Structure 1
Amino acid sequence: MEETTGSTEGPADAGNRVLDGAALKALAHPLRIQLLEVLSSYGPQTASSIGKRIGESSGSTSYHLRQLARHSLVREVDRGSARERWWERPPGSLTLSTPELEQDPTTREATRQVNRQFERGRSEALAAFMAGGCESVPPEWADAAVIATMNAYLTADQLAALTHEMTGILREKLDAYRSEPGASGTRPVQLHFNAFPLIDPQESS
């Protein structure tokens, strides 16, 4: 399973990192997922600026950022004054599950916790946009947004081929539009691509 949330800076195909058990366990904390998502969405931040976004103290965010940095999930970036430490998420995607990790009950549970937190963040972001409707963003941004659901019957091989192809297309296309965080006329944008087999309750009854 691949978590394709990427950094706002750098090319979308900057690389894929397969997390080891230690990194997974370090990430399996709700606040650390939030820190990673803020850096992914808004670019480099200080512990204080992240804390203001998510309602946490700078002491708490600073501690958890350092723990993420121990596993190279975030890194310091040279900007601002010497009094402020800035952090960023390295570009690229994260693979959270491999057959080897799934064999270990501890890392398997850590993977599930991380995936649940990522999905909760995605759901909350979408819910916030839908709740505000056209009033939450300027009209041109509301017109440019789309929420789409498509259904199909596929084999496992077809689904694997489709997800691989579509993920590659999204990454390639995104590079043509990628801007620096804070560039004039830009705002954070999140892209979702979900493809999965539906579980029919009648089949398990």
Structure 2
Amino acid sequence: MSETPMRRADRTLDAGALRALAHPLRVQLFDILSQYGPQTASSLAERTGESSGATSYHLRALAKQDLIREIPERGSARERWWERSDKSVSFDSPEAMASPAGRSATQLIMNEFLGRRQQQLMRHVTESIADPDKGDDGTAIISTANIRLTPDQAKDMIRRLSEIVDEVAASARGHEEDPDRVPFTVRVDAFALPEDGDGR
């Protein structure tokens, strides 16, 4: 389980980092910084509906584990800016998975991340149906393929998909302030289905 599931992550979160992240609001803050770039406690409060005092508290907790960092040159005495570390992270910590508490923290984090992503997907679908012109601009795809693969074929597919995503992501770095660029999320789900056909 990884925030960058198709490639090897730069950092596997240890038990301490997982415990720090295992809070619904902290997952949300971390995800907003990942998707939308640098924010202040006030801008995050507006996005989440929380108070700026609450977001500030949780930002400091994330920063203690080096999950995010302050941008001193962008801030002021009244307003601190925060950004996500540029390292990709994985939640597959053997240390954490060895304990019930670690597994519980990992489960909470994954539930929050994937729930948020699913909500974003459903909002996109709803808005596309409500405004067909917006939904037919060629900048989105929702596609499912049901195929039978050997383990080697599955690994090769994941490697090739990873290379494409990594190439595009690398070319986008350094252009975050370009007004023509908007945040996109790329999610590829590839996994073996259960033998009994039960999707629960």
- For the aligned pair, the TM-score class normalised by the smaller chain equals 0.7 to 0.9
Q: Which of 151, 158, 164 is matched with 1:163 structurally? A: 158
The one-letter code matched in structure 2 to 1:28 is A
Equivalent runs, 1:32-51 vs 2, <5 Å:
32-51=26-45
What CA distance in whole angstroms lies between the structure 2 residues aligned with 1:123 and 1:48?
25
- The SS at the match of 1:88 is strand
The separation in 2 between residues aligned to 1:106 and 1:42, in whole angstroms, is 31
| 2:47 corresponds to which of 30, 53, 56 | 53
Return the offset for 1:131: 0.8
User: Aligned residue for 1:2?
Assistant: 2
Contact 2:14 2:93 in 1 (8 A): no
**Deviates most, 175-184 or 88-97:** 175-184
Unaligned runs of 5+ in 2: none
Q: Name the structure 1 match of 2:140.
A: 145
Deviations for 1:108-159, whole angstroms, at most 9, x for unmatched residues?
1111111111100110110111111166697487421111111222234443
Taking structure 2 as the reference length, the TM-score comes to: 0.87
Cα distance in 1, alignment partners of residues 118 and 104 from structure 2: 21
The change in CA–CA distance for 1:134 and 1:95 in structure 2 (over 3 A counts) is same
Gap change, CA 1:97 and 1:68, over 3 Å in 2: same
Cα distance between partner residues in 1 of 2:92 and 2:62: 18
For residue 97 of structure 1, give the secondary structure of its aligned residue in structure 2.
coil
d(CA) in 2 for partners of 1:32, 1:55: 13
Asked if structure 2 preserves the Cα contact closer than 8 Å seen for 1:4 and 1:94, the reply is yes
* Residue in structure 2 matched with residue 22 of structure 1 by the alignment: 16
- What is the aligned length? 197
Q: Is the 8 A contact 2:129 2:135 kept in 1?
A: no
* TM-score normalised per structure 1: 0.85
- Cα distance in 2 for residues equivalent to 1:169 and 1:130: 24
What residue is the counterpart of 1:127 in the other structure?
Answer: 122
Distance 1:137 1:48 in 2: 34
CA distance in 2, matches of 1:148, 1:97: 27
Distance across 2 between alignment mates of 1:129 and 1:174: 22
Listed as ranges, the gaps of 5+ residues in structure 1 are 6-11
CA shift, 1:195, in A, is 0.8
CA 1:52/1:107 → structure 2, altered by over 3 Å: closer, same or farther? same
Query: 2 CA distance for matches of 1:131 and 1:64?
Result: 32
Aligned match of 1:9:
none
3-state SS in 1 of match to 2:190: coil
Amino acid at match of 1:23: A
